[in-house]
Amino acid sequence: MSTPLTRYFRLSEHGTTVRTEILGGITTFVAMAYIVVVNPAILSFAGLPIGPSTVATILVAAVGSLLMGLYANRPIAVAPYMGENAFIAFGLTAITIAGTPITWQQRLGAVFIAGLVFVAITLLHIRAWLANAVSLSMKHSFTTGIGLFLAFIGLYETGIVTSFAEGAPVAALRAGDTEFLRKPPVPVKIGNFHDTKVLLAVGGFLLTATLLARGVKGALLIGIVLTAIVGYSLGVGAVPQGVVALPFTGDYSLAPIAFQLDIVGVLKLSFLPVLLTLFLMSFLDTLGTLVAVGAAGGMLDEKGNFSEPEKPMLVDAATCVFASVVGSSTSGAYIESATGVREGARTGLAAVVTGLLFAATLFFIPLVQPLQTLAYAYGPALIAVGVMMMASVRKIDFDDLTEAVPAFVTLVMIVFTYNIANGLTAGLIAYSLLKVLAGRARELTPGSVVLALMCLVYYVFGLPH
């Protein structure tokens, strides 16, 4: 039966129904709701207060997902990016501009500028042109590498893997008689498996993996909640102080962070490396996500390109600007949308459902807020997301070394330098360089050359760290 809803989202044209789209939207929400817990916890290291940051995170996810559904008509949810939030919180901590540390207001200003650039290059069709220039193997190496990165963050945050220096006296690592520490023999080691929190994290991951294997809807969120409950019963972690609270008031007021971004302070030549780094990270993250979600729903052509990518790209660009204004990090299309797509979602109605569920979450923040300090509860979700994103490795052409080597460079540089931008940029440079050295320069497109040069600029003038 034709209704305004079915006509607006063109459900018949996409071979889907209202029921299927609602189910897909709910599935996507429960798969990515962990961002409400994890994003504020990470951004707190940059100095953003957790209460307001939680509201900002939810607002960005709600507004971005609604825009994606109503304007782009794609079953793709939007929220603050994992990876970029780590760059905002950790990657800029040790960096100074003219001898002055970068404030969190300036970091939000950098997100705002990056968002405006995204809007401009999207409207000029440059963004889609660059995205289509990346080979299929490289696109899937992005998704795989980011998945491994998230898994590593989860392992490290939970203590399953830890620094080799942890527990060692300073004198054992001192470089001779100087005040500096020497490089440890190995960077990381296995964690303390006598620690209750580490054991909880291991159990939480096994629980989440089991739920995923059984096809339980919302496995990630259920895993977080149940692991936290067990932790509470063992005396590890704080109990929620309430269930319902009004957003935008008291501890959940946006006033401390909304409209606090420092744009003028970012408009300096000395900030160009920060902007370049943030731009490339966000641009390539969106590309990888659109490819992964498109592949899950059969929405890619034979070259691995997303049809009519301008609308979803414009949505994540606009949401990025909105995120900086309300006080959150760079946002964009979310890989967990693939779970809803696997449930049959094919239109923007699913994204609208996801957005509305995020909006409803604004009134239940006290229920989830204690989880933000429980790495043993949310860390396993990061590891599980990494597992799901690893599926893209099957799409890398390992029989062609000019494709396999750059893809490998992407993976190892992301994980072993603990930085997404390092991996994506190194891989794109290696791709063009290897094609030339192998005598196959004719396989390069103008877009791939432009990307390689942009990435080279990142290493010369950016902030590889």
Distance between CA 56 and CA 53 in Å, rounded? Answer: 5
Q: In degrees, to the nearest 5, what angle opens at C-alpha 93 toward C-alphas 92 and 95?
A: 65
What is the predicted pLDDT for the residue at 449?
A: 94
Q: What is the pLDDT of residue 127?
A: 83
pLDDT at position 296 is 67
pLDDT digits (tens, 9 = 90+) for 191-233: 999 999 999 999 999 999 999 899 887 777 788 889 988 998 9
**Per-residue model confidence as pLDDT tens digits over 9-47:** 999 888 899 988 998 898 888 778 888 988 998 898 888
Neighbouring residues of 172: CB distance < 8 A, sequence distance ≥ 6: none
Between 85 and 347, residue with greater pLDDT: 347
Confidence of residue 239 (pLDDT cuts 50, 70, 90): confident
Calpha distance 111→323 (Å, rounded): 8
Mean pLDDT in the chain? 86
| Residue 371 pLDDT exceeds 70 | no
Three-class SS state of 190: strand
Indicate whether 372 pLDDT > 70.
Answer: no
Residue pair 421/464 in contact by the 8 Å Cβ criterion: yes
Instruction: Answer yes or no: is pLDDT of 280 > 70.
Output: yes
Report how far residue 212's alpha carbon sits from residue 218's, in angstroms, rounded to the nearest whole number. Answer: 8
The Cα–Cα gap between 14 and 422 comes to 38
Q: Which two tokens stand for residue 418?
A: 């603990």
**How many CA atoms within 13 Å lie on the side-chain side of 258?**
15
Task: In whole angstroms, give the CA distance from residue 252 to residue 57.
Answer: 12
pLDDT over 70 for what percent of the chain?
93
pLDDT band at 237 (very low <50, low <70, confident <90, very high): confident
Q: What is the pLDDT of residue 62?
A: 97
Kindly indicate the confidence band of residue 355, based on its pLDDT and cuts at 50, 70 and 90: very high
Nearest residue to 351 (alpha-carbon basis) of 92, 136, 158, 64: 64
Question: CA 411 to CA 146: how far, in whole Å?
Answer: 8
For 383-398, how does the pLDDT look when each residue is reduced to its tens digit (9 = 90+)?
A: 887 888 788 899 899 9
pLDDT of 160 over the 90 cut: yes
Range of weakest confidence among 275-279, 306-310, 329-333, 376-380: 306-310
pLDDT of 223: 86
CA dihedral angle for residue 62, residue 64, residue 66, residue 72, rounded to 10 degrees = -170
For residue 96, the model assigns a pLDDT of 65
pLDDT above 80 for 285: no
DSSP assignment letter at 164: T
Is the pTM of the predicted complex or chain greater than 0.85?
Answer: no
* DSSP state for residue 372 in the 8-state scheme: G
Where would I find the beta strands (DSSP E) of 305-447? Answer: 331-333
pLDDT on residue 271: 79
pLDDT classification of 1: cutoffs 50, 70, 90: low
State both tokens at 315: 């949505």
Residue 206's CB is within 10 A of a number of other CB atoms, namely 12
Say whether pLDDT at 315 is over 90: yes
**What would the pLDDT profile of 399-426 be if each residue is shown by its tens digit?**
999 999 999 999 999 889 887 778 888 9
What is the percent of the chain with per-residue pLDDT over 90, rounded to a whole number?
A: 40
The CA distance from 27 to 55, in Å, is 22
Predicted pLDDT of residue 465: 63
From 319, 273, 338, 325, select the one nearest 109 (Cα to Cα). Answer: 325
CB 80 within 8 A of CB 61: yes
Amino acid at 342: R
User: Where do runs of H (alpha helix) occur along 74-187?
Assistant: 84-86, 104-123, 126-132, 136-158, 170-173
3-state secondary structure of 188: strand
Helix, strand, coil fractions of the chain, as percent rounded to 5: 65, 5, 30
State mean pLDDT over 293-300: 72
> How far is residue 37 CA from its own chain's centroid?
14
Average pLDDT of span 323-330:
94
Structural contact between residues 82 and 38, judged by C-beta atoms closer than 8 angstroms: yes
Residues 448-460 have a mean pLDDT of 87
Taking only the tens place, the pLDDT of each residue in 88-147 is 887 676 666 666 788 889 989 999 998 999 899 989 988 888 888 888 899 888 878 878
DSSP notation for 1-67? ---HHHHHTTTTTTT--HHHHHHHHHHHHHHHTTHHHHHHHHHGGGT--HHHHHHHHHHHHHHHHHH
> What pLDDT score was predicted for residue 99?
67
Cα 85 from Cα 39, distance rounded (Å): 7
CA-CA distance, 83 to 43, in Å (whole number)?
A: 11
Closest alpha carbon to 58 in 464, 377, 331, 288 = 331
For residue 143, give the nearest of 294, 320, 287 by alpha carbon: 287
DSSP state, residue 90: I
pLDDT of residue 198: 95
pLDDT band at 53 (very low <50, low <70, confident <90, very high): very high
